[in-house]
Amino acid sequence: MKQQFFTWAPNIWRYKLWLPRVIVLVLVINGIVPASPRAPLMPPQTVETSKPKLCIHTRLIDEVEEWKIQRSLQLIREMGASTIVEFFPWAYVEGTEDNYNWNSIDRIVRHARNQGLHIIARVGLVPEWARRKDERPIGTTTLNTLPEVAFADFADFVAQVATRYVGTIDQIIIWNEPNLAFEWGYQNVDPAGYARLLATVYPVAHAANPNISILAAGLAPTLEPQGSPYGLNDILYLQALYEAGAAPYFDALAVHTYGFQAAPAAEPGFNLLNFRRAELLHEVMVRFGDDQKPVIITETGWNDHPRWTLAVSPAQRMEYTVDALRWAETRWEWVDATCLWVFRYPQPTLSYPDNFTFADTLFQLRPLYYTVQAYARGELNGDQP
C-alpha cells in the first residue's frame, strides 16, 4: 500500500499543475475569459505627418506582453511622431559576459520597423559581471556604476547595437544624465570621466558602423553647485565636458529641458529651470566652436498632476506643449528633433510621473494626445504650412 501511494502521488501533483491551465483554456474557448492579444505584424506602415521633427520618448523595454509594444507604436505613428527614444539596457542583453540575448530589443525594433518609426537608442545599465571589475566590493556598486576598466566592454555592446539594427537605429545616446550622482553610480560626478567614456566608445562604434551618430547624454536640468554630493549644474557640466576634450567624440548633443511651471517663451537664465534652458546649453556649444553639431531634445514636457508642486493645469499643459514644439520648429534651427516625455509607462507609478504620459496603462488616451496629433497634421491655428 505504501509503495502504491508513492507511485500514485506524483500523478496528483501533475494534475494539480495542469488543471488550472485546462480550466483557463476551456473558459477562453467558450468566450468567458478573453485570450491575451497576440502581436502579428501588420502590413508595413508609414508615418503621415507634417512635423517630421516630432518625436516621443517611450518606455517599452519592460513591457511583458508584446501586443502592448505594438499598440503603443501604432498609436505613436497615428499621432504623427516619426521617431521614438527608447532605453536599451546593456544588462538585459549581456547578463553574462559574451553571452547575448537580444530578444527584448529585437521585438521593439521589429514593431518599430513595421510601423515606419526610427529609434534613438539610449544605452546604459551595467551587468553585474562588468561591475565586478570595479575595485570596490559588488555590494557597494549600483546598476549605474561603470568601472573605467569596463569602458571597452561597454563600447563593444554599443558597436553591436550600431551594426545589428542598421536602418532603424542610426543614433545612440551614451548613458543618461551623468551630471547626477545617482546616474553615475552614486559617485562624485566626473565630466572628465564621462569624456573618457565617450572617447572609448566613439571610435569603436564608428568602426563598426561609419554612419552611426553618437549622442552625448542628455544632462539633468539642475542647479546643483560645484561640490554638491547630488550632482552638478548642467551648464557647468557641459562646459567641463568640453574642457576635458570631449568634442571630437560625439556627433550630436542630447538635451533634457523641462518646462516645469513656466511657459515655453519664458526667458532662460543660469539659475532658472525652464524650456528655453536649452539655449544656454547651445551657447556653450557655440562658445567652444561646436555649434555645427545638431541638438536633439530627447526629453521635454509639462506635468498636469493635481498635487505636484511643479505641475500645471491640463489646459496649460496642452497649450505649452504645442507652443514649445512650435518654438523649437521655428526658432531653433540647430534642433533636429523634439522628443516629448513620455508616451506611456508599463505600470502606473501611482505618483506625479503618471501625469507626464500621453496614455495610461489601459491605453486610454489623454486629451494631449489628440492636441499633438492635430499639431502633427497641421490642423491647429498658427501651424507652419
pLDDT in tens, 67-90: 999 999 999 999 999 999 999 999
2/147 same-domain check: no
Shortest CA distance to 263 belongs to which of 351, 306, 218, 326? 326
Q: Do 329 and 208 share a structural domain?
A: yes
Higher pLDDT, 214 or 1: 214
- Sign of dihedral through CA atoms 248, 90, 151, 300? positive
Residue span of the structural domain in which 2 resides: 1-35
Please give the pLDDT value at position 21. Answer: 55
Identify whether residues 58 and 99 lie together within a single domain: yes
Asked if 14 and 65 sit in the same domain, the reply is: no
pLDDT, residue 244, reads: 98
Q: Is 169 helix (H, G, I), strand (E, B) or coil?
A: strand
The predicted-structure confidence for 190-223, as pLDDT tens digits, reads as follows: 999 999 999 999 999 999 999 999 999 999 999 9
- What pLDDT is recorded for position 12? 43
4 and 61 share one domain: no
DSSP state of 299: E
Cell 504650412, residue located: 385
User: What does pLDDT average to over the chain?
Assistant: 92
Confidence band (pLDDT; 50, 70, 90) for 28?
A: very low
For the domain that residue 331 is a member of, what is the CATH number? Answer: 3.20.20.80
